[in-house]
């Protein structure tokens, strides 16, 4: 018994010893099409220069209800079935940042904390005393502050940037798993059906077992 | 069953007698609780895994340059591909969950005891095959955790005496995990489920020879047995409904909760993830592996930890029926063992950088093996104590009857062999 107590005690201690280093903001990502369309636009304006999304095509953006003229403007000569390839070439990226910026298609699912991580990272930039920017969430990052949140003074402007970060995060969350809305909608039907079915099966079971004396 | 077609078949194939013997006349103890549903559920999950797997394989590319992309192709472009993949990924976890409950029930009620040892050992073989299948399947998405998990585990075979290095190369088909590893794992991941189906049939034949155990732990009189169909088909189907609800909650509402975030990054041999962690169902065994400071010892301990269950028929020497039901000390042992498994799971999940975690893991590993090694002594002491304290009237009688049954069976066996006339 004393071994058990020791294990439990040590278990409790280790939980406190493993507290998270950086606190992540908790956000609720938007899933409605207008918000996602805004997010796509914010992504195009702030991220597309350097980042690729190889699993998302221009035609996918059309499915969000974005104006066709706008999408045509973004894609230029490329066909609608082209993925969103970064405007900057890999060679240029290597020359500037010494690494190719990561593909963002699955980024919302590729970090512990998911969308919360992404949002906290985007608004996690701050100005260091030497004039360069640092990041609370990912200190080793090579990416310069994409939204410019580190140099913002006013509260109103900061809120606006947080909204942009949130809308980009929502878009990236959609991009990582574009069938989420379909999935949850189907899920309600499936589970509803299964509950009714299980109820009926329970009645059948009761009925059959009642034959036993 | 009757009718000209059935008659025609019955003259050529034992259809009616088979259905009678295995279903409509198959005697099943009427006191089976819902804990006895999980074998049936495991069978259903196996069917679900094979069905979704076959359709996934139609769209999947077992090639290290295409594998990751083909998973995204399934997730985005194949009609309901996301459903297939999430069902398959969640199904792996569901399979282990159901099997763990199935095993826990067997341990709790002592269902592994004579005459069900072979039933238990075929189950042990099935567990090993399931683990191998899950491990190989986990490489196929070709994410970071797939790659590094396979690297770490195949590397363990280095401890094979004399030919360790060669065994690792033979398993991987290369000096490191790569395209050859992926293609062979895919091939074997497709093969193993069919071997499992074969082993399940052996498991069922063994079951139908010795019949189900039951919560009272002894063979029931004929009047307490009821036909499997329709009574247990109805009970199993209701249990299936409840199981599918829980399964669907994971598939439709939290499918990514069981997928490591790092596996959404394509495999990269140049970048090691900061913390390589296996799927939840391997965590306790992984913790045991890491708790032994020496690699050879760790691998042996891990292999032994999975195989320990097979020794239970020898270790448990108590004649008290009903497993933990009539055995208070065994019951405490059972729950402590479950708790120890949870502690090991937690330790396996945490990075081993914290010294207190390492110590907890080592203590829990010792507890894990100790809980098996004390069983022969504790079970005997407990039996003596329980008999001295006075067992409920019924149980003494059951024990006597069980003893007589065993003697009768031995004599019957001898008679058949011609030793006794």
Are A11 and B346 an interchain contact pair (Cβ–Cβ within 8 Å)? yes
Same domain for B296 and B183: no
Single out the residue of B49, B47, B42 nearest to residue B90, CA to CA.
B49
Residue B410: inside a domain: no
User: Residue A146 CA to chain centroid, in angstroms?
Assistant: 16
Task: Give the count of beta carbons closer than 10 Å to the beta carbon of residue A84.
Answer: 27
Residue B114: inside a domain: yes
| Predicted pLDDT of residue A21 | 59
Q: In chain A, how many H helices and how many E strands?
A: 8, 4
Banded pLDDT at B267 (limits 50, 70, 90): very high
Q: In chain B, how many H helices and how many E strands?
A: 17, 2
| Predicted pLDDT of residue B419 | 64
**Catalytic residue selected from B59, B208, B211, B350:** B208
Residue B312 has pLDDT above 60, yes or no: yes
The domain boundary, picked from B225, B243, B276, lies at B276
| Predicted pLDDT of residue A167 | 96
| Predicted pLDDT of residue A13 | 45
Question: Which residues on chain A are in Cβ contact (under 8 Å) with B230?
Answer: 208
Residue B99 has pLDDT above 60, yes or no: yes
Same domain for B248 and B364: no
Show the CA angle centred on residue B128, arms to residues B126 and B130, nearest 5°.
Answer: 65
Probe site for chain B from A191, A206, A211 (most B CB atoms < 10 A): A191
Same domain for B357 and B239: no
Number of structural domains found in chain B: 2
Same domain for B209 and B143: yes
Phi-psi region of B344 (alpha: psi -120 to 50; beta: other; left: phi over 0): alpha
**Catalytic residue selected from B64, B70, B111, B212:** B212
Instruction: Give dist(CA B64, CA A50) in Å, integer.
Output: 26
Task: Give the count of beta carbons closer than 10 Å to the beta carbon of residue A69.
Answer: 7
Same domain for B122 and B42: yes
Residue B350: inside a domain: yes
Interface of A to B at Cβ within 8 Å reads 3-4, 6-7, 10-11, 13-14, 17-18, 55, 105-106, 109-112, 114, 176-179, 183-184, 186-187, 190-191, 194-195, 197-198, 201-202, 204-205, 208-209, 212
Same domain for B238 and B120: yes
Residue B401: inside a domain: no
Instruction: Give dist(CA A117, CA A66) in Å, integer.
Output: 27
Phi-psi region of B259 (alpha: psi -120 to 50; beta: other; left: phi over 0): beta
Single out the residue of B259, B396, B406, B276 nearest to residue B326, CA to CA.
B396
Residue B409: inside a domain: no
Is B10 a known active-site residue? no
Banded pLDDT at B88 (limits 50, 70, 90): very high
What digits encode the pLDDT tens for the residues B69-83?
999 999 999 999 999
| Predicted pLDDT of residue A18 | 41
Instruction: Say which residues have a Cβ less than 8 Å from residue B62's Cβ, sequence separation at least 6.
Output: B140, B182, B183, B186, B187
CATH code of the domain in which B59 resides: 1.20.810.10
| Predicted pLDDT of residue B198 | 98
ipTM, interface predicted TM-score of the complex: 0.90
Are B249 and A191 an interchain contact pair (Cβ–Cβ within 8 Å)? yes
Break chain A into its structural domains and give their ranges: 27-175, 179-213
Q: Please, which contacts does B49-53 make with residues 24 or more away whose CB atoms are closer than 8 Å?
A: B49/B88, B49/B91, B49/B92, B49/B95, B49/B193, B50/B193, B50/B197, B52/B84, B52/B85, B52/B87, B52/B88, B52/B91, B53/B88, B53/B190, B53/B193
Same domain for B272 and B289: no
pLDDT by position in tens, chain A (length 213): 344 445 554 444 444 444 445 789 999 999 999 999 999 999 999 999 999 999 999 999 999 999 999 999 999 899 999 999 999 999 999 998 888 999 999 999 999 999 999 999 999 999 999 888 999 999 989 898 999 898 888 899 999 999 999 999 999 999 999 999 999 999 999 999 999 999 999 999 999 999 997
Facing residue for A198 by CB, picked from B226, B231, B245: B245
The domain boundary, picked from B225, B246, B276, lies at B276
For B123, the domain range is: 23-276
What digits encode the pLDDT tens for the residues A193-211?
999 999 999 999 999 999 9
Same domain for B248 and B227: yes
Instruction: Give dist(CA B119, CA B324) in Å, integer.
Output: 19
Same domain for B261 and B291: no
Residue B268 has pLDDT above 50, yes or no: yes
Is B21 a known active-site residue? no
| Predicted pLDDT of residue B359 | 95
Superfamily of domain A27-175 in the CATH hierarchy: Cytochrome c-like domain (1.10.760.10)
Probe site for chain B from A81, A209, A211 (most B CB atoms < 10 A): A209
| Predicted pLDDT of residue B2 | 76
Residue B337: inside a domain: yes
Same domain for B186 and B109: yes
Residue B45: inside a domain: yes
Specify the higher pLDDT residue, B215 or A104. A104
The domain boundary, picked from B276, B301, B329, lies at B276
| Closest residue in chain B to residue A209, using alpha carbons only | B231
Residue B314 has pLDDT above 60, yes or no: yes
Per the listing, tokens 């002894």 go with B218
Same domain for B259 and B134: yes
Probe site for chain B from A114, A183, A186 (most B CB atoms < 10 A): A183
Single out the residue of A156, A49, A66 nearest to residue A104, CA to CA.
A49
Single out the residue of A55, A45, A58, A81 nearest to residue A175, CA to CA.
A55
Residue B398: inside a domain: no
What digits encode the pLDDT tens for the residues B347-402?
999 988 889 999 999 999 999 999 999 999 999 999 999 988 887 777 777 777 77
């Amino acid at each position: 018994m004393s071994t058990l107590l020791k294990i439990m005690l040590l278990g409790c201690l280790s939980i406190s010893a493993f507290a998270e280093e950086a606190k992540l903001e908790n956000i609720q990502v938007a899933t409605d099409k207008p918000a996602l369309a805004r997010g796509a636009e914010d992504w195009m304006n702030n991220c597309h220069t350097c980042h690729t999304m190889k699993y998302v095509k221009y035609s996918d953006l059309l499915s969000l209800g974005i104006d066709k003229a706008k999408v045509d403007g973004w894609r230029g000569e490329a066909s609608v079935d082209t993925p969103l390839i970064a405007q900057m070439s890999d060679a240029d990226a290597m020359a500037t940042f010494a690494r190719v910026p990561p593909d963002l298609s699955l980024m919302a699912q590729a970090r512990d904390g998911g969308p919360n991580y992404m949002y906290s990272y985007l608004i996690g930039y701050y100005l260091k005393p030497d004039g360069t920017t640092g990041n609370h969430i990912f200190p080793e990052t090579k990416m310069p502050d994409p939204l410019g949140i580190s140099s913002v003074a006013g509260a109103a402007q900061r809120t606006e940037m947080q909204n942009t970060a949130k809308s980009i995060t929502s878009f990236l969350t959609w991009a990582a798993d574009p069938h989420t809305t379909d999935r949850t909608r189907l899920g309600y039907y499936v589970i509803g059906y299964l509950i009714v079915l299980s109820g009926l099966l329970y009645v059948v079971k009761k009925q059959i077992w009642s034959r036993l004396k | 069953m009757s009718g000209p077609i059935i008659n025609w078949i019955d003259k050529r194939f034992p259809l009616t007698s088979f259905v009678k013997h295995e279903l409509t006349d198959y005697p099943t103890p009427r006191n089976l609780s819902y804990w006895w549903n999980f074998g049936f559920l495991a069978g259903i999950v196996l069917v679900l895994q094979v069905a979704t797997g076959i359709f996934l394989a139609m769209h999947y590319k077992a090639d290290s340059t295409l594998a990751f992309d083909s998973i995204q192709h399934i997730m985005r472009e194949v009609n309901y591909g996301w459903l297939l993949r999430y069902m398959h990924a969640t199904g792996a976890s569901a399979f282990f969950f159901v099997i763990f409950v199935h095993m826990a029930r067997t341990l709790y009620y002592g269902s592994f005891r004579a005459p069900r040892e072979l039933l238990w050992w075929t189950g042990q073989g099935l567990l090993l095959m399931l683990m191998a299948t899950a491990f190989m399947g986990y490489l196929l998405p070709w994410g970071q955790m797939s790659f590094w998990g396979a690297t770490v585990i195949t590397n363990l075979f280095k401890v094979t005496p004399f030919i360790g290095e060669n065994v690792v190369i033979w398993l991987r088909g290369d000096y490191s995990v790569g395209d050859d590893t992926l293609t062979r794992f895919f091939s074997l991941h497709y093969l193993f489920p069919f071997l499992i189906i074969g082993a399940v049939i052996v498991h069922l034949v063994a079951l139908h020879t010795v019949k189900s155990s039951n919560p009272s732990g002894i063979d029931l009189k004929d009047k307490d047995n009821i036909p499997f169909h329709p009574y247990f088909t109805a009970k199993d189907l209701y249990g299936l409904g409840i199981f599918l609800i829980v399964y669907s909650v994971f598939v439709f509402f939290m499918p990514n909760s069981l997928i490591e975030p790092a596996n959404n990054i394509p495999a990269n041999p140049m970048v090691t993830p900061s913390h390589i962690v296996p799927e939840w169902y391997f965590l306790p065994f992984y913790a045991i592996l890491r708790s032994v400071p020496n690699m050879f010892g760790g691998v042996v301990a891990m292999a032994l930890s999975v195989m320990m269950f097979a020794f239970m028929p020898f270790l448990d020497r108590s004649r008290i029926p009903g497993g933990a039901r009539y055995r208070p000390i065994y019951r405490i042992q059972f729950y402590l063992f479950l708790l120890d498994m949870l502690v090991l799971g937690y330790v396996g999940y945490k990075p081993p950088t914290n010294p207190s975690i390492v110590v907890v893991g080592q203590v829990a590993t010792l507890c894990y093996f100790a809980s098996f090694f004390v069983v022969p002594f504790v079970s005997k002491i407990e039996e003596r104590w329980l008999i001295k304290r006075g067992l409920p009237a019924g149980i003494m009688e059951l024990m006597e009857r069980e003893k007589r049954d065993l003697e009768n069976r031995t004599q019957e066996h001898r008679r058949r062999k011609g030793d006794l006339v």
